[in-house]
Structure 1
């Protein structure tokens, strides 16, 4: 077998589809910097760009073996990246509109139908991000925030230590803060 670095993209894809982890790693190393550069240029934020590139490669890892790449591998990965960027920007726009709407509401002290629609959209985004948490972390977080149980009560109910509960909640809050942004996070949590 050839070293993965000497193989063409087509050969790497074939090997990857047959379960070769080294082929995936080579694809990752070959295209990570290019995708990061594109995302960084579009978003002007290194951390968000890194997150989106990681998302693209996570999806490629889980679904790539079933995907039929009709054009080139770079074109396929670039199109995945572009979709992720547009999805991210659309979520940011909803968050931004919500913040502006909330500021307007506070200023005018009005509660409009538009505000309720935006509130529902934001609640849906938050619910989606909470649902994306790892299952145990999500369970602990929901018992704390939705059922309003204390760390001790959660620990007793799940048969884990209070320290584990505290760590799970802190980790969930870090994840949500990074995904939702500081302003939205402070409004809801």
Structure 2
């Protein structure tokens, strides 16, 4: 892939993969652009898993510091830069929580042997016009999910990842992702349908 001249001041129109190649060469401005471009998504994802703003910011800082120091090794053969950054942040957060003996329980009860199901209706939940009351209702529904269901749904809803990318971030199989999103969608629809009558 041809790389554009790296003596320019603005990298706004440079692709993520091009930025990575420039960063491998030590381009600090390209590194700053990568940080600026993905910081909000990383912060939002981190906050969907943990409620400590300071903790999330520290983990993002750790991620980019490591990325810069090991740029010649970490940034090779990446297909999806966003997914790579998300999974790297997730691993840092989990490692840090273990070191601090965090109390957050991880949902270890995995349902097994589910057949793959068609989940094409999931987008109907987020494409519909939602009032402020509906937003609160959706938040209630999201909070009713298991931790793993919520994480998978958040990655689809807010980060726009496909199932393969979600599987990569969560370090599970694609089939497991499909199952999590299917059950999360069913649960959300059920909670909304049960409570929507009280809003009208």
In the superposition, the TM-score normalised over structure 1's length comes to 0.47
Q: Going by fraction, where is helix more abundant, 1 or 2?
A: 1
Please tell me whether Structure 1 or Structure 2 has the larger radius of gyration of its CA atoms.
1
Query: TM-score, normalising length from structure 2?
Result: 0.45
